[in-house]
Structure 1
Amino acid sequence: MKILITFKHAQLIKKELGLSLPHIKSSHRAEAMARGLGWKSNAALRAALMCGPTECEVDDTRFRSYLEDRQFEGIDHCSLAETVMQVCGDTIRGRGVDVGTEVNTGATTKHSLFSHMRLNNKWGAAALGLFAVVCYLMATMQTAEDYLDQAMETSLDVASRAAVRSVLILDKDLGNEVIAGLMEYPYIVSAEIKDDHGDRLSFERRDIQAETLSHWIQDLLSFGQQQVYRRVLDLPPTLSDTDAELIVVVDRSKALSVLPGPTFAGMVASLFLAGIFVFSIAAARSAFWAWLRTYLASNYRLAQA
């Protein structure tokens, strides 16, 4: 009788044998079980089961021969085949294993659908790895955003001092100089100074086109939205009918491609390479288990009776 068993099934079979043969040491029961399942030793059987569900040929003759060779008594009432069917029958049927009977030999053969479960486990591991990579990508993006915010705060700190003077004396030329200085940064779309009456004192705007791979990728993925930074100008209370403001609009994708730090193209490349690495590890793991399973079957299986 051939049957596909898992490591858990082997543990349950050994436990049931302990109830049937309590006078025999556990190590001998395990070795007898391994022989009865078609393996040269319990260690080889355990190694094979660690690779995944393993097809075993149940043979009561080998099971009893091992125990008889060591002169154990009271074994006639114990059948490995019955124990295996008792332990594995309902469990395996519940997991989608088809049970059929061969007409010529009358032997019961179990054909398993465990392969799709192993495939799902592999994809699950790959998905978990990709999830970790995406989390890393998001964390890196947040780091880049924080760097951009810090750079803009520094620029606004410097520009706001001159902007305050231009509002206090309503000097449009000075305001234009402040705006021109800000527009030197290639990622700034527009800059504007509003006075304490809410009127526009100085303003300049331009269009920014995609020039780098990072910029193009972000625009393609709709990450190229603009971000507005506002700085309320510190004016004397007697002059403040409304808040005077310095308003700067930044093209995020352009800024992230220009400012020192992680670029979006670099992060996408990291994601791609990490994905290849994850799948390579999964493929190498599968290849190793397949090789080990083949090696064990070739060298540690008993010849079929």
Structure 2
Amino acid sequence: MRSSENKILVTGSNGQLGSELRDLEKEFNNFEFVFVNRSSMPLNDPDSILKVLSKEQPNYIINAAAYTAVDKAEDEKETAFLINDEAVDIISKWCALNKSRLIHISTDYVFDGTSSSPVKEDDVTNPINTYGASKLAGEKKVTQNCNEYMIFRTSWVYSRYGNNFVKTMCKLMENRDKISVVSDQIGSSTYAKDLAKAVLQIIASNNWKTGIYNYSNEGQISWYDFAVEIQKIMKFDCKVNKILTKDFPTKAKRPSFSLLDKSKIKETFGLEVPKWDYSLKQMLNKNI
């Protein structure tokens, strides 16, 4: 028996999105929240997943947990697929059997980055690294197993919690006279708080529309543009130089263009999506 008709279980509760969802709990007090992390519900342990879900009996699951170490995933393929694919298979099958709704967080890395215009939800997927492949495999499990799901593809996520580009840039700029940042990878950043708020507003609206949705902040930038704005807001005395992807080799390939088209989520749910620089200011003003 469910103790509540409005119980939301959040996985990855110590991550960037999970932490922002926890902060918003008081604003959405019509819901009962259960937050689980890798120690209370390890995603590499199927029995543990099923045990927690059958104990909690949530009406909604927000699957914010993932294996996100993009370069490391090239060496740890099995682990990446275990968490991003096999665990999602278990969770989505449980949702189908128990008539629960699933919100699953995915990534722009399911695309190959060869588009010249903002990527839409129904564009062809073609991941170019293990992380993207494992996340796409998880998406497919959700769409195969569930009737009541929403997949949110997002990009360049940052928050005052966890490790991310913004916090890394702040540390580097504080301690160095100059840094070099890639200027030929284009997309848009996502403030995890904005995404968390959008997810909860959609659940609270009771306007459930199964499907895949893109969500990132408005605007088109490169990692270099992102770094320059951080430097400007924080007034760091550090020169930011442009560098090309070919001059900064990484183990995993990155999409060169993964700007997400947000038309569908805005039209379906009437969402206002903040501009990337506005949200960046909001986060940095919180004293990271």
Computing the radius of gyration over CA atoms, which structure comes out larger, 1 or 2? 1
For the aligned pair, the TM-score class normalised by the smaller chain equals under 0.3
Structure with higher RCO (Cα < 8 A, 6+ apart): 2
